[in-house]
A and B are shown apart, each in its own frame.
Chain A
Amino acid sequence: MKNIYKIIVASFLAVTISACDDDAFIEQTSPDQLTSTSFWRNAEDAQSGLTAVYAELEARSNFWDGWQEGRSVVEYFRSDYALPGPDATNYGHWMSIFNFNYTNGHTFLNVLWTTNYKGLNFANQVITKVGEMTSDQITEAEKKQIIGEATFLRGYYHFKLLTLFEQIVVRTEMISQESIDKALSSRKDTWDVIIKDFQDAEAMLGIVGATKAGRANKGAALAYLGKAYMHKAGDATSSDGADFTNAAAAFKKIVDGTVGGYDLEPDFLSLFNGENENNQESIFELQFKSGDANSWNATRLHAFVGDWSLGGWGGIEANPAIVTEMKTEGMIATTGRYDSRLYGSVYFRDPFFNDTNTNEMQGYTWDQLMDWQYGSTYDDHAYFRKWLPNYVYNNSYVGVNVVLMRYADVLLMYAEALNETGATAEAITHINKIRATHGDMPAITVSSKEDVKTQIIHERTMELTLESVRFFDLRRWGMLDQAMQTAGRTGFNAAEHSYLPVPLSEVQANSEID
């Protein structure tokens, strides 16, 4: 008994002594994660932070409702040349985008908004935290490159948001507890922020040859600077007389070759099927690769785009009107057919796709596939061809990159800006270059400013179908109402549907927004 008594007393003493370590006892740290204060130690940390900024591009971090379906439906379905695919009617929330009767609670709006703002949060962390790093931690050159890329991406995320939504919250500082709720900015102020970021980025970034594939470079910054001016020019709230001049000045540096040697890629199809990635025409390209043991950065966009007849999921169809539009110039290509870009952009019932020698429909002919799938020749249907690898039957993940900005787009925008500022003749040379290289088409015969603009509108359809430009181009040209009416999209009116509303989730959570 005496012993037990001693043990108890001893244990009480032990407790009294150990009580001094209470503070240490309740100190717990993560065994495998740094914190915002212990991170940002060196160049590796800075690069890692920068990688996370890229990760939010095009909502790819939210794979299904963001990249795979959300972006596709929002950016493709709103085009007058798109129709819902055979599977789309099963998804009410896809159809509400197509029919323009979505609400501000729509999940795709929320996801696109949220992922772009994650990108902005990460970009601001990199810009601030890497900016605070000392020369012991990182070389000035690397610091400049990293902050340059982050600044470009900040411009890019703001640009995406501003072209999608009617008004946005501008984020140019690192988030703190105090700045979580912030008011919407005017579109004009937002354009200024975007333009400044692309200008600053251009100054800091390297040229294409000196930059790793996938990373932003001077060319990307200039291309988006020019694109921002083009959109600002078409935005009644913000435009000013110098917009086209400024746009042309930005594009000029790319076309001049001062920021690296960009050129058109002769094989039009190879721009979209994953077999010629990061090529000489690519200016900014969303990177995908098939999975490996440690990472997953792949896409299934082809399954969304591919029709049932091709083994895809039938998410989208092409409005047959696009075939008509693409055929307008007639069979005047050097191939003896229509503009070659027609065949590279759309599948439709045509001898080209029914040739049993070439079996252009992924190894089959149009009539074979349509008969198997639909029991008909489906004369009045058409399907998009871009972003499909050379096989669709395997719907699993693939590594097909998606070009976000390419030289042909720059040339066409440059031509448009030149034409708007009176340099129509120079504009025509750029148009003709693209026509020859990608379309096997002769030079254009029109020469007036108006006719050239009409030609540019046509060329942009020929060249950039299903590259997320059509709806946005129509808007800046003030042609949305007319185009939607032609397409029978009765739910549309430009006053209400030119921009997406600020998502309900933002209105609910942000006390600075009513």
Chain B
Amino acid sequence: MFNTFGQVTIKGTVSDTTNAPLPGVAVLVKGNETKGTQTDFDGHFSITIQKQESTLIFRFLGYKTKEVVLGNQTSIQVVLNEDAQSLDEVVVIGYGTQKKSDVTGAIGQVKAKELTAVVTTNPIDALQGRVSGVTVTSSSGSPGSGADILIRGIGSFGSNQPLYIIDGVQADPYFIDAKNIASIEVLKDAASGAIYGTRAANGVVLITTKKGKKGKTKIEIESSISINTARKELKLLDANGYVSVHKQMYENAGVALPQYVTTPPSVNTNWIDQTHRDGQLNLLNVRMSGASGNFNYSVGASSADETGLLIGSMFTKKGVYSNLGFTKDKLKINTSLNYSETYRESQQFSLRETFQISPLIPVFDDAKQSGYGYRDGDLPDHRNPIGENHFKNGYTKLKYFLGNIDISYEVLDNLIAKANYSVSSLTNYSYNYHQAFRVRDVQEQGHEFAFVSEYNNEFRRINQEYTLNYKLDFGKSNLNLLAGYQRISEPFKETYVQAEGYKLDDLGNKIPAIILDASFNTLNAFSDGTYSGSGTNAEYSLVSQFGRVNYAFDNRYLFQASVRRDGSSKFGKNNKYGVFPSFALGWKITEEEFMKNQSLFDFLKLRFSWGQAGNDSALGYYDYVALISQGKSQNNGGYVFGNPQTSYQGGIARTLQNDNLQWETNISSNFGLDFTMLDYALKGSMNYYNTSTEDLLITKVVSPAAGIRSPVVNVGEFVNKGFEFELGYTNNKNEINFGAFATFTTIDSEVTQLSSNDQVLYGVGLKFGSDHFVNQTKVGYEPGAYFLPVANGIFQNQAEVDAHAVNGNLIQPDAAPGDVRFVDQNNDGVINSDDEVYNGTAIPKFEYSLNVSADYKGLDFNIFFQGVGGNKIYNGNRFQSLGLDSGRNFESSALNAWTPSNTNTLIPRAVLGDPNQNNRASTRFLESGAYLRIKTIQLGYTLPTNVLDKLAMDKLRIYVTGQNLFTFTNYTGLDPEVGGSILSRGIDRTLYPKYKSVILGVQFQF
């Protein structure tokens, strides 16, 4: 096998663990490393070596270097393992990239592999549990709904959504194909985000899309089907239960029984079954990528098609994208284009009515003109949801375009000038239509005539940005300078037109307009009807200068400082510009001489950062002035004078001018530690942060007696503190690749200042907005903490009612046996707001996750746990669904309500009017919110190469995934994942069921 010169030619293929060929791998001869070759597009190589040269080295960026002893082989298959621990890995930071080992801030990174394990139509869902300190809550099961993301706790009363930067430009991740994302970096500390100034206080999420890599053209196709079923459904009373509970309700109140209780109709409708169903999500993604010569390209398309768990709800999302790059000498041009559109039909009926309508009402009723059942006689009147869904039509279409071009040129050695121009546009079109219909007894406003409306809006963002970047290495020093200038303008416009199918007769009465055909449903079809419309436009503009210095000495000591100055059109005239500084320090301890002899740590770095970032998202376009609002109708300032009567327009200021209005400032310190141990098998990092947000912008509910609309003002301060731990372990032995990654996060949130120390900001009143308050934001507590009277069991008899007294006076004079006892905290003889005491928070004290993956030959397995603890949820449906106080349907557990013969229960007696106010806001409805969820569990199989070769494929993998299959919790509502606004956090008013999925998928690669 050796030729005469003692040489031998070795041939082989190099692939990754998924059997995908790796092009461009360096193949070197050990001992003579100047000699070598590279693998070609198909991962093939061929090298001629001396016979005494017995070992080859395979080296490829991002993969573990592998040495192969040849023995007698001349043809070898080499598999390279990805080197997740690689410290030379690069992370994306604001306006650049940085070696992971040089990072001084708190930056979390998630790679495509983790992101794509979750099957969803919204890529942000996939971040849940992947980065410590990042909380993702998807609080609705409605198809196409977004997720709520929170980085390091609540930092604002306004939006807590981070700034999303996609390939360097602010953009909307909802419209990015998850399969097109190469990595997501999360800038958690203010020092990392400060370079983004007034938009960065909630953290920054940097999304990098996939680029074409050198090698042959690669085509990837993935398709999956999810079968979605409700995680849980609430059970409601059936006809018998309804009659029985209502009977108790009337009898206990001493009110004569209504007819529907004494002689109920023989109808038993299960409105939940009628309106709920299983859903399905189909996903398809195609991507083609590659690079040759000066060009690289990556183009793709995706499609999602979902039917929701409620009748009438569906969602589709379709998108195409392309990333093109061109490089020549000192010039680089990159462009990316992304287009995505969604079509969404929400259920056209009221879920709340569905939960309240009587089971004694039939779905269909021929005696009614509409054919749909509604109450007869004295039954409580509710809207028939099936009927409503039948008559109403509506959908929303969103179209998103993002175009981005950047040009950079190396003007001088190491001085790079770069210009970026990007445009994005999000348009919304909504259509609603119905004919005249009646699906409840009392005809509702708006239903008595046909109706059609069209709404259009357009939100654009035009970004231009110019940066200079200069690198200088001298001695042991490395210096990197950045300076930039940016302008963003965000024009917005909207128009709305509606037509109602009525006209006025001579007496001014509404009579139906003539619509020529019942199927006609455009605006023009209503030409005999009544039109109205509205529209406006507005613009937000931001101008910024920024700069950054990075300095490293001897690769041991790291220093970074940045500053940004932002001017915003939303700020009051006294505060037009904000300045946001930051600095950070890092020390790579393992680079020190004294660490060279230890073997515990492969790498150890300490870091500290401090910075300020701003947030202006809570501000409207013109909040700092008092606009004159005008209108001719009763709800907007109009009035009628004269004879004949004429409507006059009223115009008045409903707000107050505020010249001092400005951004919120988030000031954050971060201590961090990164380490690698056990020969790079174990890697970890921890952070401790302390963040205060000052000048909080809040829509302050002011004294109603001021007669003004609640203004947005800068008031108060929050502090968030916490520890974040991330630990990863990998082990590759005996062809088993094992990996585990765990996160643990603690959050301690406190309001440290409001406009006065005794100020209380209330959350939403669940009853008509003016009653049933649950949350209070006060100095010394978490924002939106629960302050409630304590429910202390049920009075079992009159003696207990009588014993609940102060100085012989009953504390609850309206109570009777079966009613709830409330604790009179201050012993003043009445239960009132003074008896509301702190009862915990909706903010989890800790959150954790664990991802375990293993693969063996073609099999791969992954399980992902995620959980929270230390939080509470206010079950905000139950004061109605278990209210047992007026004419509506209730949860089936109402059958277990207290009666003299059923005393061992937590549900008070049914009584019309609820004289004791059993349903007042109290701890009766407060529950633990802790849960542990198996978010995903996935098993995949990749076909071996020899089979694939016959199929002319590079890869074929099939997988089955269970998503959200198991949730361990004591919470009694639909799902313990509850979001909510800041002041009203943790109130569960969800009625839309969330789903669990079984997913079957297949991935091809050619």
Interface residues, chain A, CB within 8 Å of chain B?
Answer: 1, 4-5, 8, 11-12, 15, 19, 22-23, 25-37, 39, 45, 47-55, 57, 60-63, 65, 67, 86-87, 89-93, 95-96, 99, 101, 103, 105-107, 109-111, 113-114, 117-122, 125-126, 168-169, 171, 175-177, 179-182, 212-215, 277-278, 287-298, 313, 394-399, 503-511
Assuming the contacts A5-B409, A122-B652, A177-B658, asked whether A89 and B705 have C-beta atoms less than 8 A apart, the reply is: no
Chain B residues within 8 Å of A103, by CB: 771, 917
The docked-state distance in angstroms from the alpha carbon of A110 to that of B758 is 23
In the complex with contacts A11-B419, A180-B702, A287-B641 CB distance below 8 A: yes
* Chain B contacts for A508, CB-based, 8 A: 701, 760, 762, 773
Kindly state the separation between the CA atoms of A236 and B38 in the bound complex, as whole angstroms: 102
9 closest Cβ pairs, A-B complex: A121-B707, A52-B650, A105-B771, A107-B768, A295-B647, A290-B508, A51-B650, A52-B652, A110-B770
CA–CA, A399 and B646, complex, Å = 12
Nearest residue, chain A, Cβ from B653: A36
- Contacts A26-B569, A55-B637, A92-B914 given; indicate if A511 touches B645 (C-beta within 8 A): no
Q: Which of chain B's residues have a CB closer than 8 A to the CB of A215?
A: 641
Given contacts A289-B645, A397-B510, contact A33 B538 (CB under 8 A): no
Q: Are A399 and B645 in contact, CB atoms less than 8 angstroms apart?
A: yes
Residues of A within 8 A of B630 (CB): 33, 48
CA of A320 to CA of B667, assembled, Å = 69
- The size bracket of the interface on B is 35 or more
Whole-angstrom distance between the alpha carbons of A96 and B768 in the complex? 14
Alpha-carbon distance A27/B380, docked complex (angstroms) = 55
**Pairwise interchain contact A107-B531, C-beta atoms closer than 8 A:** no
Chain A residue numbers with a CB within 8 Å of B485 are 15, 19
A49 / chain B contacts, CB cutoff of 8 Å: 650-652
Q: Is B808 an interface residue (CB 8 A)?
A: no
Cα distance, A12 to B411, chains bound together (Å): 12
Is B625 touching A36 in the complex (CB atoms < 8 A)? yes
Expressed in whole angstroms, the Cα–Cα distance for A164 and B669 within the complex equals 54
The reply to whether B653 and A394 form a contact with Cβ atoms under 8 Å apart is: no
Least Cβ–Cβ distance between A13 and chain B, in angstroms: 10
Among B448, B485, B539, B653, max chain A CB count under 10 A is at B653
Min C-beta distance of A280 to chain B, whole Å = 13
Q: Chain B residues near A22 (CB, 8 Å)?
A: 543, 567
Q: Are B627 and A35 in contact (CB under 8 A)?
A: yes
- The reply to whether B705 and A168 form a contact with Cβ atoms under 8 Å apart is yes
Give the distance in Å from the alpha carbon of A297 to the alpha carbon of B769 in the complex: 25
**B650 & A107 in contact (Cβ 8 Å cutoff):** no
- Asked if B642 contacts A214 (CB within 8 A), the reply is yes
The distance in angstroms between the C-alpha atoms of A171 and B706, with both chains bound, is: 8
Residue contact A396 to B381, C-beta cutoff 8 Å = no
A221 to B46, CA, bound (A): 105
Which residues does chain A contribute within 8 Å of B637, judged by CB atoms?
51-52, 55, 61
Partner of B770, one of A30, A50, A504, A511: A504
Task: Kindly supply a per-residue 1/0 record for chain B positions 418-448, scoring 1 wherever the CB is within 8 Å of any chain A CB and 0 otherwise.
Answer: 0100000000000000000000001100001
B378 touches A394 (CB 8 A): no
Is B814 an interface residue, CB under 8 A from the partner?
yes
* Bound form: Cα–Cα A49–B622 in Å: 21
In the complex, besides A33-B628, A121-B708, A292-B504, 7 extra interface pairs with C-beta distance below 8 angstroms are A30-B538, A30-B621, A35-B622, A51-B650, A118-B707, A175-B706, A509-B702
B776, closest chain A residue (CB): A508
| B541 contacts A117, C-beta separation under 8 Å | no
Residues of chain B within 8 A of A63, CB atoms compared: 634-635
Partner of B657 from A36, A110, A505 at Cβ < 8 Å: A36
Q: Are B642 and A105 in contact (CB under 8 A)?
A: no
Tell whether A35 pairs with B657 under 8 Å between CB atoms, given A54-B650, A95-B913, A294-B632. yes
CA distance A55 to B656 in the complex (A): 19
Query: Chain A residues with Cβ under 8 A from B886's Cβ?
Result: 89-92
Give the CA-CA distance A177 to B706 in the complex, in Å: 10
* B943 CB-CB contact with A under 8 Å: no
- Known A-B contacts A35-B627, A54-B650, A398-B509; the reply to A296 vs B442 at CB < 8 A is no
A25:B487 contact, CB within 8 angstroms? yes
The CA of A63 and the CA of B639, in the complex, are separated in Å by 13
Contact indicator A107/B770 (Cβ below 8 Å) = yes
- B366 at the binding interface (Cβ < 8 Å): no
**B819 vs chain A, min Cβ distance (A):** 13
Most-contacted residue by chain A among B411, B485, B634 (CB, 10 A): B634
B31 within 8 Å of A (CB atoms): no
Q: Is B391 an interface residue (CB 8 A)?
A: no
Which residues 758-782 of B have a CB within 8 angstroms of A?
758-760, 762, 765, 767-773
- CB pair A28–B621 under 8 Å, yes or no, is yes
> Hey, which chain A residues are within 8 Å of B621, CB to CB?
28, 30
Asked if A293 and B641 sit within 8 Å, CB to CB, the answer is no
Question: Which B499-513 residues sit within 8 Å CB-CB of chain A?
Answer: 504, 507-510
**22 CB < 8 A contacts A-B:** A11-B419, A12-B466, A19-B545, A26-B576, A28-B569, A29-B622, A32-B536, A33-B628, A52-B639, A61-B637, A87-B442, A90-B886, A93-B768, A109-B770, A113-B705, A118-B654, A287-B640, A290-B510, A295-B632, A395-B443, A504-B773, A508-B762
Q: Is the CB of A394 within 8 A of B509?
A: yes
- B651-A107 in contact (CB<8A): no
**Bound CA span A33–B707, Å:** 20
Closest to A12 in B: B466
Q: How far is the CA of A214 from the CA of B641 in the complex (A)?
A: 5
Q: Which residue of A lies closest to B573 (CB)?
A: A27
Residue from the list A105, A213, A296, A505 in contact with B634, Cβ < 8 A = A296
Q: Which chain A residues border B651 with CB–CB below 8 Å? A: 34, 39, 45, 48-49, 51-52
Complex contact A35–B628 (CB within 8 A)? yes
From the candidates A61, A111, A504, name the one contacting B635 in the complex (CB within 8 A): A61
Residue of A26, A27, A47 ringed by the most chain B CB atoms within 10 A = A26
**Are the C-beta atoms of B639 and A175 separated by less than 8 Å?**
no
Look across to chain B and name the residue whose beta carbon is closest to the beta carbon of A29.
B622
Point out the residue from B504, B628, B769 that lies within 8 Å of A39, measured CB to CB.
Answer: B628
**Given A35-B627, A36-B625; A117-B704 close (CB under 8 Å):** yes
Point out the residue from B487, B634, B703 that lies within 8 Å of A297, measured CB to CB: B634
Q: Across the interface, do B653 and A39 meet the contact criterion of CB distance under 8 Å?
A: yes
Chain A residue at smallest Cβ distance from B642: A212
Kindly list chain B residues whose C-beta atoms are within 8 Å of the C-beta of A99: 913
Within 8 A of A (CB), among B846-899: 885-887
Q: Answer whether residue B532 sits at the interface, using C-beta atoms and an 8 A cutoff.
A: yes
Judge if B262 is at the interface, Cβ distance under 8 Å.
no
In the bound complex, what is the Cα–Cα distance between A214 and B531 (angstroms)?
28
- Cα A27 to Cα B658 in complex, Å, equals 16
User: Do the beta carbons of B540 and A28 come within 8 Å of each other?
Assistant: yes
Residues of A within 8 A of B705 (CB): 113, 117, 168-169, 171, 182, 506, 510
| B residues less than 8 Å from A288 (CB atoms) | 640
Q: Which residue of B lies closest to A397 (CB)?
A: B510
State the Cβ distance, B437 to closest chain A Cβ, in Å.
15
Give the complex CA separation of A509 and B710 in angstroms. 11
Cβ–Cβ contact B638 & A117, under 8 A: no
Contact present for A295 and B633 (CB under 8 Å): yes
Alpha-carbon separation in the docked complex, A101 to B530 (Å): 44
A5 neighbours in B (Cβ, 8 Å): 409, 411
Question: Which of B538, B629, B640, B771 sits near A214, CB closer than 8 Å?
Answer: B640
Contact A8 B770, beta carbon cutoff 8 Å: no
CB distance from A495 to the nearest CB of B (A): 15
B756 proximal to A (CB < 8 A): yes
**Given the known A-B contacts A90-B887, A181-B703, are A125 and B532 also in contact in the complex, defined by CB atoms under 8 Å?**
no
Interface centre among B328, B621, B628 (most CB of A within 10 A): B628
Q: Which of B370-427 contact A (CB under 8 A)?
A: 378, 380-381, 407, 409, 411, 417, 419
Q: Do residues A293 and B530 form an inter-chain contact, with CB atoms below 8 A?
A: yes
In the complex, are the beta carbons of A55 and B707 less than 8 A apart?
A: no
Q: Which residues of A contact B914 (CB under 8 A)?
A: 92
CB-nearest residue of chain A to B713 = A177
Q: Is the CB of A114 within 8 A of B702?
A: no
A74 → chain B closest CB, angstroms = 13
